[in-house]
Amino acid sequence: MPRRTTQKKKPVKNGSGWIDSQFARASRRVTAEDLIARDDAGGSSAPKRQDGAALWDRCQPTTADALAVHKKKVDEVRGWLTHFFSRGQSQALASKVLVLIGPSGCGKTATLRVVCRELNCTILEWINPVSQQRVAFDRAGEVWWESQRAQFQSFLLRSRKYRALSIGDTTATTSKQLILVEDLPNYLRSQHEVPAFHDLLRSYNAAAVAPLVFVLTEEHLGSLGHAVSRLFPTVVELQGVFNTIRFNPVAPTKMEKALTTMCTIAKIDAPRSSLKEIALQADGDIRAACNALQFLHRPRRGAALPKQTRKRSKRSKTRAASSSSSSSAPSAAKAVRGRDTSMRLFHAVGRILRARRRPPASSGGPSQDPRPKTPKFMTQQPWSQSPVASQSSTPPTLSPVRSQPAAARRRPPDAGGGGGGLLMTTPAPVQLPPHLQHMHRDPLDAVTTPEETLRQSCVSTQRFSQFLHQNYIDYFADFEDLLQAADAFSCADLFNTDSAANSSVASEYFGMTLARELVFCNTSPLVSGWRPLRKPVDFDAARTHNLVASLTRFAHDRSIWRPVSFTDRDRDVADDDDDEDDGDDNDVGGVDEKEVGQAEARAEQTRQVGGDAGGATRSQSTSPSSTRAPSRVRHSQPAATASTASTNHTKDSSSSSGSSGSGMGSQQTGPTVVHTSVLSTSETCTSRVFSMQRARPAVEEDISDFTDSDE
Amino acid sequence: METPWVEKYRPKVLKDIVGNEETVDRLKVIAEAGNMPNLIIAGPPGTGKTTSILCLARALLGEDVYKEAVMETNASDDRGIEVVRNNIKMFSRKKVTLPPGRHKIVILDEVDSMTSAAQQALRRTMEMYANTTRFALACNTSEKIIEPIQSRCAVLRYTRLSDAQLLKRLLEICDQEMVPKVEEGLEAIIFTAQGDMRQAINNLQSTYAGFGMVNAENVFKVCDQPHPLLVQAIVAACIEGDIDKAYGGMQELWGMGYAPVDIITVFFRIVKQYDMPEYLTLEFVKEIGRTHIRVLDGVDSFMQLTGLLARLVNISRAAATTHS
C-alpha cells in the first residue's frame, strides 16, 4: 500500500525555477475555516490522510484567530497588503517590497499565508533551482548557461506576466498574486551583489504590479550571514525601496494556547504542566515548541496513528513503562529542548551565582565538595590476584569504588611504593596556614560542581561568561570579592580565545577558572531577595553598533558625510570633546547649501570613493526612485541647521516610535530610533552629526571610529 | 584482520545504547510509533549520537529498505552548498515505497562542520519535503547550527557518559573478548577516556592487542600518556614547595618522551582531583591553564613546563602550606 509516502503533488516547477508554492496550494485546498474542522475533513474530503505528516504541518493555522501572533502584527501585514491591492496607479510610486523580519518560529510565514487566504491572493514562491545553472538552447542549438542572478531577476521582473500554474484547481482564478522569497537566492551571499540587488528592488518597484514579500529570519548576532542587515539595510529602507515589519517572539501565553490547540488537533493527551514547560523552553519559537511536543508526546492510540493491532499490546506496555503522559514526560522535557534556550541557561547561571556552602559543623566529613574521587589505580595498591572472572558476572561491583568515602579510600602512608622511580608521597591533606584562613571555604552545598553546571547548561563557554558577566554584580556583597571576581573573568577570557577554544580542555579550564572561582570568591552571596537575571546587553549593543556602522558606511559611500570640523558659530552646539578635525572646513557649507544630489555629484569628483560604492551612488541618482526619497530637506542656512535638526529630531523620534510599521519598529532601543529619525528627517550631514551629538555623544564617537577605520 | 571493536560492538538496537536513558526512551517510542520528527542530537564525542540515529533509522525502516530510504553523509563527504542543493534535494524527491508513518531519512553527521550557507540551503528543503523525508542531524555543539534549522528540529542533548556506564560496557566487551584485566586497568582506561565511549573501547582494544593484559601500566603505555602517579608526585612536590623534587620528576617525564600537551593535560586532571584547599586548586589551575595555552600556541619547550613548576611552587610557598 504505497499510500502516503510521496503523496503530495510534486511542486510544479518550470524551467527557471519558480514554483507554485506548496503553501499556496495548501491554502487553496483547505475548505474548512477552523483548524479542527480542517483536520477532521482531512480524512474525507482531502485525498490524503494526515497521519504521516509532521505535527507542525498539520497544525498550520488558517485563520487569523488561530495565529499565535499578536493581533496588531497581523493587522499590520494585512493593512500593507490591502493598501497595496486597493491603491491605484496614482500611488504606484511607493514601495512594492515588504520585508518580514523576526526570529525563527515566530509566525512570519504563517501570518502571511493567513492574510493571503483572507485576501484571496495566490502566492508565487521563488525556490532555488536544483542545479546552479540552467541549460537552455539558443537558436543555433548550442547550450548556454544562465546564472542564478539572471534567473532570479527574470523571475521577479517577469512574474507579472505569468501566474502560478494551477493544476487541478479551479479556485486559483483570482487576480491577486503575491511573490514570496523565503529561500534567498544563493548568489546573494556575496557582498558584491548587494548594490545590484538594491537596484533590482528599485526596478521592481518601478515596474512590477504584484507585491514582493521577503521573509527573513533574524538570527543571533555573530552568526554568519547577517542577511537582514546586509541585504536590507536601514538606509535603503529609508529611501523607500522597501518596507519592513518586524515580528517579536511568540508570547508564552499565546504559545501555551497554541499548544493546547495542537493537542486537540493531534489528539494528544498532554498534562498542562508539560505544555507549560515546553512553552517556556521554546523561548518564543512556536515551531520548536511544536516539535518538542511531537517528540515528547505521542497521540492517543488509534487517533491519528495508523492501526497496528499486533503492536498494540507492546506499545501500551511501553507507555506504561515510560508513563508518557504524566511522570516521565516533564523530566524528559529537560533533555529535549526546543532549541538553545535561555531558560536552562538562566538556571545554570543562577545556580552558580547563588551557590551556598555547607556550614562546617554539619559537613562532618573531611572531604572536599563533590569533586571526582581518586581512582583506585592512583592509590597504587599492589594488585591482588583476585579472580576477575568472578567479579565480571556482576559488572557494577567495580563501580562503587567511586562512591567510597574519601577517608576510607585514602591509602595508609606506609603502603607507598615507588611510582616509576619517583618516591611516591601520600597526598596528605593540606591545610591553609593562619594568614590565609580567609581563603578557607567550606564544602559546597550543591548537587553538582560548578564545572558540571556549566557543562550541563549546553551553551558555549563564551555565551555563558557573557551571561555571568551581565548578572554577577548583583550577587556580591563585598567589594573585595567583586575585585577577585573581575579578575576571574579576565583570566577565564584567556580560555575563550581562538587558539584555546579548539582544545577540548579549554572548557574545563574555563569551568574551573570562572564558574568555580566565582563561587569561591563570593564569600557572602546575596541569595535572598529576587534578582531578575538579564540577558547580556552585549547583544543589543552589538545590534546598535551594526546599525550605526551601516549608517556611517552609507553616508560615507555617498560622500555626504565626512569628519567635520565645526566653525565657531557651530561650536556651541557641538560637544567639546570632538576630536575629528580634518581640516575640511570648506566643505561644510557646500554640503549644506546644495541639494544632496549635487553634493554627491561634486563629491564624486573630489572624493575618492570605492568602485562599488560609486556605482551604487550613480545608479541611485539616475534611477527614478531616488527622487522619491522621503522627506528630503533642503537647508539653506547653516546657522539654522542645528535648531532645525534638533526639533526635527525630537518630533520625528516621537512619531516614528509611535508607528512601529515605519522606521525601525517598536523593538528598537531608544538611541536607534533617534538615529533613524534623524536620518529620515534630513540627509544633510551636519545636521545629522549635530543631532547625534546632542542625543548621544558616545555614539558619535563610535561613528568617528568607524569613519577613521574606513578611511 | 580483526574489526575494530568500536564497530564490532556498536549497538544495533536502541535498547543497547548506553547512557542518556530518558532521551533514548523517547527515541524507542518513536521507533515503534513512526512519524519521526526532524531531530538534532548534540553532545560530546563518543556518547552515542550517531549510533542512536542509525539504530532509530534501522528500527523505523527495517533492513531491507534501509539502503534505499536512508541517505547518510558525514563531514568527510563533500557537503558544500552544491551537495545540499542537488544530492539531498534529489534524494528528498525520490520515491520510495514505505509503510505509513515512515519516511525517508537523511542522516547528516557532524552538521556543525557544514558551512552556514549550506545549512541555509538545507532549511527550505527540510520544509518542502517534510511529508516524505525527515532529517536526523548529529553535532557536537548545537550553537554552530543556524537557528532556523534548530527551530525546525527537536533538539536532543546527550551528555557525557558516567564512569559507571563506561565501566559496564567495557566489562561486557571484556567478557565477550575474554580479555584478561584488572580493576585498575579499567579505571585507567576510564581515566584516559573521560566519558568518551569510543576512546575507551579503542584504548581497551589497543591495550589488549599490544600487551594482552589490561592493567594500569599497560594502559598508560598504550595511550602514551604520562602515568598519573608520576604526575601526582610532581604535584605533591609542588605543594610541598620542593622545587628540586618537582623538577626531577618533570625531567624524568620529559626524558620518557611524552608530548608536552599530554603532560600538561594529565597535570590538569590530577590537580583537579587532588585533595587540597580550594584556594590552591584554583590558583594552580589558572597557572596550568595559561601554560597550556602557551603550549597549544606552539611554545612547548621543557622550559615552559619547568617554569610552570616554579610558579606552582611559588604559589604554595606564598601560601606557606603546612601539612597536618
- For residues B266 and B225, the answer to whether their CB atoms sit within 8 Å is yes
Q: Does A312 touch chain B (CB under 8 A)?
A: no
Q: Does A338 touch chain B (CB under 8 A)?
A: yes
Grid cell listed for B92: 528528498
Q: Which chain A positions have a beta carbon within 8 Å of B233's beta carbon? A: 419, 422-425
- Determine, for residues B155 and A337 on separate chains, whether the beta-carbon distance falls below 8 Å: yes
Task: Say if residue A150 is in the same domain as residue A193.
Answer: yes
Task: Say if residue B62 is in the same domain as residue B14.
Answer: yes
- Determine, for residues B101 and A367 on separate chains, whether the beta-carbon distance falls below 8 Å: no
- Determine, for residues A432 and B323 on separate chains, whether the beta-carbon distance falls below 8 Å: no
- Determine, for residues B124 and A499 on separate chains, whether the beta-carbon distance falls below 8 Å: no
pLDDT at B181 over 80: yes
Q: Which residue has the higher pLDDT, A43 or A205?
A: A205
- Determine, for residues B164 and A402 on separate chains, whether the beta-carbon distance falls below 8 Å: yes
Task: Say if residue A272 is in the same domain as residue A187.
Answer: no
Task: Say if residue A119 is in the same domain as residue A218.
Answer: yes
Structural domains in chain A (count): 3
Structure confidence by residue, pLDDT tens digits, A640-677: 333 333 434 434 434 433 333 333 333 433 333 334 33
Please report which residue ranges of A447-584 form alpha helices under DSSP H: 450-456, 461-471, 479-493, 498-501, 506-510, 517-521, 537-557, 568-571
Structure confidence by residue, pLDDT tens digits, B62-83: 888 888 889 888 777 777 777 7
Domain boundary among the residues B126, B157, B188 is at B157
- B-proximal residues of A, 430-449, CB under 8 Å: 430-433, 435-436, 439-441
- pLDDT category, A602, cuts 50, 70, 90? very low
- Determine, for residues B147 and A220 on separate chains, whether the beta-carbon distance falls below 8 Å: yes
Of A189, A431, A495, the CB nearest to B277: A431
Structural domains in chain B (count): 3
Task: Say if residue A96 is in the same domain as residue A219.
Answer: yes
Task: Name the residue range of residue B240's domain.
Answer: 228-323
Query: What confidence score (pLDDT) does residue A335 get?
Result: 45
- For residues A617 and A561, the answer to whether their CB atoms sit within 8 Å is no
- Provide the shortest C-alpha distance from residue A386 to chain B (in Å): 9
Query: In what helix (H) or strand (E) does residue A655 lie, and over which residues does it extend?
Result: helix A638-658
The answer as to whether A291 is a domain residue is yes
Give the mean pLDDT of B186-199: 87
Which value does ipTM take for this structure?
A: 0.71
Query: What confidence score (pLDDT) does residue B158 get?
Result: 84
Task: Say if residue A168 is in the same domain as residue A215.
Answer: yes
Q: Which residue has the higher pLDDT, A87 or A287?
A: A287
Q: How far apart (Å, rounded) are the C-alpha atoms in residues A360 and A366?
A: 10
The answer as to whether A283 is a domain residue is yes
Domain harbouring B301, CATH code = 1.20.272.10
Strands laid side by side in the B133-139 sheet: A336-337, B154-157, B39-42, B133-139, B104-108, B70-73
Structure confidence by residue, pLDDT tens digits, A423-447: 334 445 566 666 666 677 766 666 6
- Provide the shortest C-alpha distance from residue B323 to chain A (in Å): 5
Query: What confidence score (pLDDT) does residue B52 get?
Result: 92
Query: In what helix (H) or strand (E) does residue A27 lie, and over which residues does it extend?
Result: helix A22-29
Q: Does A324 touch chain B (CB under 8 A)?
A: yes
Domain boundary among the residues A249, A265, A286 is at A249
Domain boundary among the residues A500, A531, A547 is at A547
Distance of CA A405 to the CA centre of its chain: 47
A/B interface, count of CB pairs below 8 Å: 353
- Determine, for residues A51 and B81 on separate chains, whether the beta-carbon distance falls below 8 Å: no
CA angle B282, B288, B291 (to 5 degrees): 145
Mutate to test the interface with B, among A328, A334, A378 (most CBs of B within 10 A): A378
| CA nearest to B92 within chain A | A6
What 3-state class would DSSP assign to A523? Answer: coil
Task: Say if residue A285 is in the same domain as residue A177.
Answer: no
pLDDT at A316 over 80: no
- Provide the shortest C-alpha distance from residue A460 to chain B (in Å): 7
Mean residue pLDDT across chain A:
59
Query: What confidence score (pLDDT) does residue B296 get?
Result: 83
Task: Say if residue B211 is in the same domain as residue B297.
Answer: no
- Determine, for residues A285 and B101 on separate chains, whether the beta-carbon distance falls below 8 Å: no
Task: Say if residue B58 is in the same domain as residue B16.
Answer: yes
- Determine, for residues A295 and B26 on separate chains, whether the beta-carbon distance falls below 8 Å: yes
- Amino acid at residue number A563: P
Q: How far apart (Å, rounded) are the C-alpha atoms in residues A179 and A40?
A: 31
- Determine, for residues A296 and B153 on separate chains, whether the beta-carbon distance falls below 8 Å: no
- pLDDT category, B55, cuts 50, 70, 90? very high
- Provide the shortest C-alpha distance from residue A614 to chain B (in Å): 28
pLDDT at B305 over 60: yes
Q: How far apart (Å, rounded) are the C-alpha atoms in residues A42 and A54?
A: 14
| CA nearest to B185 within chain A | A377
Q: Which residue has the higher pLDDT, A135 or B244?
A: B244
Query: What confidence score (pLDDT) does residue B309 get?
Result: 92
Q: Give the residue from B87, B63, B59 showing the smallest Cα distance to B73.
A: B87
- Determine, for residues A130 and B321 on separate chains, whether the beta-carbon distance falls below 8 Å: no
Which DSSP letter does residue A268 get? B
Domain harbouring B204, CATH code = 1.10.8.60
Q: Does A56 touch chain B (CB under 8 A)?
A: yes
pLDDT at A71 over 80: yes
- pLDDT category, B192, cuts 50, 70, 90? confident
Which DSSP letter does residue A305 get? S
Of A10, A319, A376, the CB nearest to B184: A376
Strands B322-323 and A243-246: unpaired
Q: Which residues of A575-585 are buried (b: 16+ CB within 10 A; e: fewer)?
A: eeebebeeeee
pLDDT at B230 over 60: yes
Task: Say if residue B146 is in the same domain as residue B96.
Answer: yes
pLDDT at A526 over 60: yes
Q: How far apart (Å, rounded) are the C-alpha atoms in residues B296 and B290?
A: 10
Q: Locate cell 587540597: which residue?
A: B276
**Radius of gyration, alpha carbons of chain B:** 24
- Determine, for residues A288 and B151 on separate chains, whether the beta-carbon distance falls below 8 Å: yes
Q: How far apart (Å, rounded) are the C-alpha atoms in residues A135 and A158?
A: 19
Query: What confidence score (pLDDT) does residue B310 get?
Result: 92
Task: Say if residue A266 is in the same domain as residue A191.
Answer: no
- Determine, for residues B324 and A288 on separate chains, whether the beta-carbon distance falls below 8 Å: no
The answer as to whether A304 is a domain residue is no
Task: Say if residue B144 is in the same domain as residue B269.
Answer: no
Q: Does A532 touch chain B (CB under 8 A)?
A: no
- B-proximal residues of A, 18-37, CB under 8 Å: 22
Task: Name the residue range of residue A278's domain.
Answer: 256-297
- Determine, for residues B228 and A406 on separate chains, whether the beta-carbon distance falls below 8 Å: no
Give the mean pLDDT of A255-284: 79
Mutate to test the interface with A, among B17, B278, B283, B323 (most CBs of A within 10 A): B278
